[in-house]
């Protein structure tokens, strides 16, 4: 629906758009329409490409941690996953389109490392693991490589697997 709505918006004019909503600016850029957020006119050049959903979250957490340190003297330790994890460009695009965060993928991979539970897809030659987070089950398609993992895809469902 977001794609269709954005297409409807950008079909109105070939002129660059100025938005007051960063999410709209990002969506218009993804649809190939030149657009800027109003604050980019004031504070600096526009971003070349819109950040994906995980990058947006990292940016917010980075700002939060910086403010906690600079304003309130609270030091927050950043977490490292502890194993090599590569997410392909195709998987990242899928995750962004499906609103799946890197932290969701990491939760699945940690569950797999603890339990070893996965399905092997012989046709794709990939493992598929899952983890329920809240009311959503996240599925990750991956291969093991050099003591770590290469994520090839991800999807989610609101369902219970028994």
Instruction: Locate the domains of the chain by residue range.
Output: 1-50, 52-80, 85-157
Give me the pLDDT at residue 51, please.
81
Q: What is the 8-class DSSP label of residue 134? A: T
What is the spatial distance between Cα 82 and Cα 110, in angstroms, rounded to a whole number?
Answer: 10
Please give the pLDDT value at position 66: 84
Distances from the Cα of 123 to the Cα of 21, 97, 151, angstroms: 43, 24, 16
Helix intervals (H) in the chain: 2-10, 22-30, 38-43, 53-72, 89-97, 102-115
14 half-sphere exposure, CB direction, 13 A CA radius = 0
User: Tens-of-pLDDT digits for all 162 residues of the chain?
Assistant: 777 877 777 777 888 888 888 888 888 888 888 888 888 888 877 777 788 888 888 888 888 878 888 888 877 666 677 899 999 999 999 998 898 999 899 999 999 999 999 999 999 999 999 999 888 999 999 999 999 999 999 999 986 667
* Alpha carbons 131 and 127: distance in angstroms, whole number: 14
Region 85-157: CATH code = 3.30.2310
Model pLDDT, residue 77? 62
Determine if the pTM surpasses 0.75. Answer: no
């Amino acid at each position: 629906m977001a794609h269709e709505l954005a297409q409807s918006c950008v079909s109105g004019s070939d002129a660059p758009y100025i938005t007051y909503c960063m999410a709209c600016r990002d969506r218009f850029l993804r649809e190939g329409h030149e657009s800027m957020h109003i604050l980019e006119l004031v504070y600096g050049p526009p971003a070349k490409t819109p950040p994906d959903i995980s990058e947006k979250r990292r940016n917010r957490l980075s700002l939060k941690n910086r403010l906690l340190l600079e304003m309130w003297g609270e030091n927050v330790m950043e977490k490292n996953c502890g194993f090599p994890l590569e997410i392909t460009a195709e998987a990242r695009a899928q995750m962004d389109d499906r609103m799946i965060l890197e932290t969701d993928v990491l939760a699945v991979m940690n569950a797999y490392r603890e339990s070893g539970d996965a399905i092997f897809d012989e046709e794709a030659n990939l493992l598929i693991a899952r983890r329920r987070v809240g009311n959503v089950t996240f599925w990750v398609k991956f291969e093991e490589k050099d003591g770590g993992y290469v994520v090839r895809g991800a999807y989610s469902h609101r369902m219970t697997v028994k």
